[in-house]
Amino acid sequence: MLKLYNTLTRKKEIFKPLKDKKVGLYTCGPTVYWFAHIGNLRTYIFEDILKRVLEYNGFKVKHVMNITDIGHLVSDEDVGEDKILLAAKREKKTPKEVARFYEREFKKDLKLLNIKKPDIWVRATETIQDQIELIKILERKSFTYIIEDGVYFNSSKLKTYGRLWPKKMKILPGKRVKMVPGKRNPTDFALWKFPKKKRKKFLWNSPWGKGFPGWHTECVVMSIKHLGIPFDIHCGGVDHILIHHTNEIAQAEAAFSKILARYWLHGEFLLVEGKKMAKSERNIFTLKDLIDRGFKPLAFRYLCLTAHYRSKLNFTFDSLKSCQNALENLYEKTLEYKTRKKIKTKNFERYKKKFQNAINDDLNTPKALAIVWELVSDQKVKDAEKYQILLDFDKVLGFNLEKLKKPKIPEKIKKLIKIREEYRKKGDFEKADEIREKIKKLGFWIEDTKEGPKIKKL
Ligand code: AMP
Ligand code: ZN
């Protein structure tokens, strides 16, 4: 039984898809105007865990992710320039060149983090006509009005507007910033924007004149196009609750009188010194920054799993270092256990059940990791079985345990180990230590254990 916290109902609910074991999953993708920062990547890791947990439970997931390559303005509230256009100016490239470059970089990051690819990628610029069609429906149903700035959605016409908001919301989105002149309600939002006079490029024709779509329209169109309405699960970061997802739900409800998706899941922020990691805060790190400092991308994945996705996580290099050590330790153990032998006893089912209970309780990854370490130190479980169980857990954790290979030990090193063992047997530890140093210089490390010397590649 899989339980997920649904922002829409503010409850942990038993997850039941619409059709048998099939799940439609839509995750809001990146705005490709810069490298993803590790805060963004925390959200994609949470969504990857969700997808893997669904698969672990035998569901067949159809996953759609969009690429925002138009329409996301500097402010979420319909003011400021398009982020991609600003980047194009900064980098003296065309918007398309910028967008494609950062899209490729984003996909590389996903691969490095062992995040499974969506089944369908959709770019906003490739669905402009569909977005226009949706706005036409909203116009026919009298949910729109036109002002100098563009075509706007009239939120006061939809009784259910804001159903995703937490109940006790004091500040309405839109009240904090200066309103676009002519906007009737603070929560109204742009469906189609007219360009500022200076802007001549990166515009599309529409029944309302040349312009470009508002950011909140693309996800409605792309998700429905590939998953139908309603579909099962829609995800994103918590910052999407108040505006972006609220406005997605509003458009779908106004146009089709249906809820867009049945379960809405939101990942909490990655923080730096207590503040949200964000480009505007100038406190971001990219995955490359971590790699340049000697960290493995999967150490960051491990770090994300140490916190529940609905808890804030404060990023520090010290905690990343501890996670890298823990992961390396897990790799060593896995290699130690690695064997072709396949044994399955009661332990397999017992541990699987424990693990499944943890992850099925709203994706409790910290508990799942604790079970991993419980297994490692469980004297009653044979190594070969531990290996089988860890590989099973890794379907969810995604640390690539199956790909681990025992390091090839060169003949020269093997000889040195043998000579060192002879010295040790004779009690000549000084000589043995000398050889250990020699081996270290050649890139290997010897550890003496009860079962004999163990060798590790440095
Ligand atoms: P964007 O490319 O700005 O649309 O953001 C991509 C995803 O990252 C969205 O789902 C955001 O909610 C999420 N996000 C942005 N900042 C953070 C952060 N500091 N921690 C976690 N997720 C974030
Ligand atoms: Zn979206």
* Residue-level pLDDT at 168: 55
* Residue-level pLDDT at 449: 75
For residue range 394-434, list pLDDT tens digits in order.
Answer: 999 999 999 999 888 889 998 999 999 999 989 999 999 99
Burial readout 273-310 (b: 16 or more C-beta within 10 A, e: otherwise): eeebbbeeeebbbbbeebeeeebbbbbbbbbbbebbbe
Q: State the DSSP string of 196-224.
A: PTT--SS-B--TT-SBEE-HHHHHHHHHH
Q: What angle do CA 219, 225, 227 make, to 5 degrees?
A: 90
Say which ligand is closest to the CA of 215: 2
CA neighbor of 68 nearest in space, from 244, 309, 241: 244
Q: Supply the residue whose CA is at minimum distance from atom 3 of ligand 1.
A: 31
Helices (H), 277-316: 287-292, 297-305
Percentage with pLDDT > 90 across the chain: 79
- Between the CA of 237 and the centroid of ligand 1 the distance, in Å, is 5
Q: Which residues, in sequence order, are bridge partners of residue 237? A: 267
Closest ligand 1 atom to Cα of 268: 21
* Residue-level pLDDT at 407: 80
More confident call, 454 vs 68: 68
Q: Rounded to the nearest 5°, which phi and psi values hold at 286?
A: -100, 170
Q: Supply the residue whose CA is at minimum distance from atom 15 of ligand 1.
A: 40
* Residue-level pLDDT at 175: 54
Indicate the top mutation candidate among 7, 40, 82 to test ligand 1's pocket, ranked by most ligand atoms within 8 A of CB: 40
- State the Cα–Cα distance between residues 315 and 137, nearest whole angstrom: 45
- State the Cα–Cα distance between residues 19 and 10, nearest whole angstrom: 23
* Residue-level pLDDT at 77: 62
Closest ligand 1 atom to Cα of 240: 12
- Between the CA of 26 and the centroid of ligand 2 the distance, in Å, is 9
- State the Cα–Cα distance between residues 7 and 124, nearest whole angstrom: 25
- Asked if 186 and 174 count as a contact pair (C-beta separation under 8 A), the reply is yes
Indicate the top mutation candidate among 43, 67, 68 to test ligand 1's pocket, ranked by most ligand atoms within 8 A of CB: 43
- Between the CA of 31 and the centroid of ligand 1 the distance, in Å, is 9
Q: Which helix (H) or strand (E) holds 247?
A: helix 246-256
- Asked if 26 and 235 count as a contact pair (C-beta separation under 8 A), the reply is yes
* Residue-level pLDDT at 169: 58
Q: Is the pLDDT of residue 207 over 90?
A: yes
Q: Which band of pLDDT confidence, cut at 50, 70 and 90, is reported for residue 235? A: very high
- Asked if 304 and 46 count as a contact pair (C-beta separation under 8 A), the reply is yes
| Ramachandran category for residue 306: left, alpha or beta (phi over 0 → left; psi -120 to 50 → alpha) | alpha
Closest ligand 1 atom to Cα of 238: 12
- Between the CA of 142 and the centroid of ligand 2 the distance, in Å, is 24
Query: 9-23, 155-169, 214-228, 323-337 — which is least confidently predicted?
Result: 155-169
